[in-house]
Structure 1
Amino acid sequence: MRNMFRRNSTKLGQHLSKCIFYVGMGSNDYLNNYFMPGFYSTGSDYNPKTYAALLLQDYCRLINKMYELGARKVAVVGVGQIGCIPYELARLDNDGKSAGKSASRCNEKINKAISVFNAGLLQMVKKFNREMPCAKLVYVNTYQSSQDLVMNAVSYGFEETERGCCGVGRNNGQMTCMPLQVPCGRRRNYLFWDAFHPTEVANEIYAMKAYNSTSLSDVYPINIRQLALA
């Protein structure tokens, strides 16, 4: 089949136009760059609005290139609440008075910067849908979904939303899960698996929201199921 597509660009384009491409970028640009002042100067070189604009420029170039290669259905995933993951909670001062710490449990300085990026990402999706013939991009609002899981943790079956199931130090977030380390006994009750990543059950909820939700605050302008049928 691969050789057939190489010889027939029309069939290749038809095949790619039916595929759904899942694109999620930006998390590590904030987690492992912008908010790591001990290693990178980007946090002082750029304000949140300027930094988000630079990331979105690269994002636009990528989507344009994918479109040129034949992609027509793309799920674009927003960045979640990085300020609420165990790793970032572990970095806050013990007394909760670290810079950016509000009355909430999260580092809102980080979350506000991410919200600027996500807002631009949504506008990018709207722009491509208007201007690209036959393009169908869907914005998956992981930030909104992660807020929902925390605010309604009990209804989703989560008992622990701040600690990782497996990790080291405060909130099990100062170091991620180590080899041979014994994880928590009831991982389905945890929102986070380690210092950074959601548990399997949390990811299942995120996936079902993206696939089935009829709320525009979860997925815009349609959900993944509708995108598959489009």
Structure 2
Amino acid sequence: MGSQKPSSFSSLFFLIFSIYLFRVSNSALVPAIYVFGDSLVDVGNNNHLKLSLAKANFPHNGLDFPTKKPTGRFSNGKNAADYVAEKVGLPTSPPYLSLISKFRKVTNTTPFKTGVSFASGGAGIFNETNKLFKQSVAMDQQIEFYSLVYKTLVGELGSPGAAEHLSKSLFTVVIGSNDIFGYHESSDLRNKYSPQQYVDSMASTLKSQLKRLYGYGARKYVVGGIGPVGCAPSQRKRSKGGECDEEVNNWAAIYNIALKSMLQTLKMELKDISYSYFDVYQVMSNFLRSPSSFGFTEIKSACCGLGNLKADVPCLPIATFCPNRNNHLFWDLYHPTQQAHYMFANYIFDGPFTYPLNVNQLIAL
């Protein structure tokens, strides 16, 4: 008799959780959000990668998260993925790797209907980019994981039901910064490709990846461009005056042009898709040009770290952190603060700087 109690409790728990998700999904603006990308939207996938050097599951990360504990987010608190989910009335899409066993067997499919995050710190559009941090989930592998979610949804909802569900869901893609850093750090790549050739290859590779997602039901895409990554503390610290690396910024800007052109072409080829492109480069540039207008007083130095601009040592437990995170643009040597992410989400959802539709308009289609 005693051995049956845990099973009964477990069944009751999942019944209650399923009812909760059903109610949430019925009141939400979209059925689900499926997230793909890098550390800007990673909510904990890298916690489950033993060899990865790109992890944030230790203090002082999560300092301002509701639990006050590190979650695997590269932030003092929430990131844009969390805030966009809140805006549409859904729970944050949980990390896919938290839903499977060490033997890669799915242990919980319940969240599949409201969304899953496949984003991984250090990930790139190119598989080779992942070598920068030893281990991460590249975009191709993220799509492979999603294909398993897709098959589960088809099995549970049927093909027409899954198609209907996914056609109304959001597919968020935030990736490419690590590919730019990879080009910057590799003399071999710079000798092999011109900046234009490299970013064109990034855009064409991402196009094929978005087409793969289309084959698995994606119809509404939310795609983030690359920000002025040459202004991150990790890049500023290399100059005597803490100036931005304009060469890196230029590569990012050239890629964004290629990305926007690619999305327009993709829309012409796949008539039944729609997309929101978030111009994070312009938003971040505004923050950098007129920080006080947005409540920032520190735009060069990281909040958490050690050394020059707090960028010589990452945000490790031995690092120090600023007392007022809301007035800093950067949390660590690469990533924005929770406050910046909150502002990003507002722009993504309501505009401006989100084209040709903001997410609120995208949902209404």
Instruction: Decide: shared fold, TM above 0.5.
Output: yes
Q: Give deviations 1:87-127, integer Å, cap 9, x for gaps.
A: 000122x267xxxxxxxx31111111111110010011111
Distance (whole Å) between structure 2 residues aligned to residue 219 and residue 141 of structure 1: 6
Runs of 4+ in 1 over 4 A off after TM superposition: 1-4
- 1:10 Cα shift? 1.0
Q: Are 1:160 and 1:189, in contact at CA under 8 Å, matched by a contact in 2?
A: yes
- Give the secondary structure class of the aligned counterpart of 2:323: coil
Matches within 5 A, 1:43-192: 43-92=190-239, 94=240, 105-192=243-330
Residue 4 to residue 145, structure 1, CA distance change in 2 (3 Å): closer
Write the letter of the residue equivalent to 2:362.
L
Q: Are 1:167 and 1:194, in contact at CA under 8 Å, matched by a contact in 2?
A: yes
Write the letter of the residue equivalent to 2:183.
Y
Q: Are 2:167 and 2:220, in contact at CA under 8 Å, matched by a contact in 1?
A: yes
Residue 4 to residue 143, structure 1, CA distance change in 2 (3 Å): closer
Distance (whole Å) between structure 2 residues aligned to residue 14 and residue 197 of structure 1: 36
The reply to whether residue 12 of structure 1 matches residue 159 of structure 2 is no
- 1:4 Cα shift? 6.6
- 1:229 Cα shift? 1.5
Write the letter of the residue equivalent to 2:358.
N
- 1:138 Cα shift? 1.5
Identical residues among aligned pairs (%):
30
- Larger relative contact order, structure 1 or 2 (CA cutoff 8 Å, min sep 6): 1
Given candidates 41, 55, 65, the residue that maps to 2:188 is 41
Q: Would you say how many aligned residue pairs link Structure 1 and Structure 2? A: 215
Give unpaired runs (5+ residues) of structure 1: 97-104
Write the letter of the residue equivalent to 2:333.
A
Q: Give deviations 1:158-183, integer Å, cap 9, x for gaps.
A: 10000000112211112211114331
Given candidates 7, 15, 21, the residue that maps to 2:171 is 21
Given candidates 326, 345, 359, the residue that maps to 1:224 is 359
- Give the secondary structure class of the aligned counterpart of 1:228: helix
Residue 163 to residue 141, structure 1, CA distance change in 2 (3 Å): same
Distance (whole Å) between structure 2 residues aligned to residue 198 and residue 179 of structure 1: 18
Distance (whole Å) between structure 2 residues aligned to residue 112 and residue 4 of structure 1: 42
Q: Are 1:165 and 1:187, in contact at CA under 8 Å, matched by a contact in 2?
A: yes
- 1:228 Cα shift? 1.4
Q: Are 1:128 and 1:137, in contact at CA under 8 Å, matched by a contact in 2?
A: no
Q: Give deviations 1:3-57, integer Å, cap 9, x for gaps.
A: 67315111111111110010011100112x11113xx511222111000111112
Q: Which moved more, 1:58-67 or 1:181-190?
A: 181-190
Report the TM-score when normalising by structure 1: 0.88
Distance (whole Å) between structure 1 residues aligned to residue 221 and residue 343 of structure 2: 20
Give unpaired runs (5+ residues) of structure 2: 1-109, 113-151
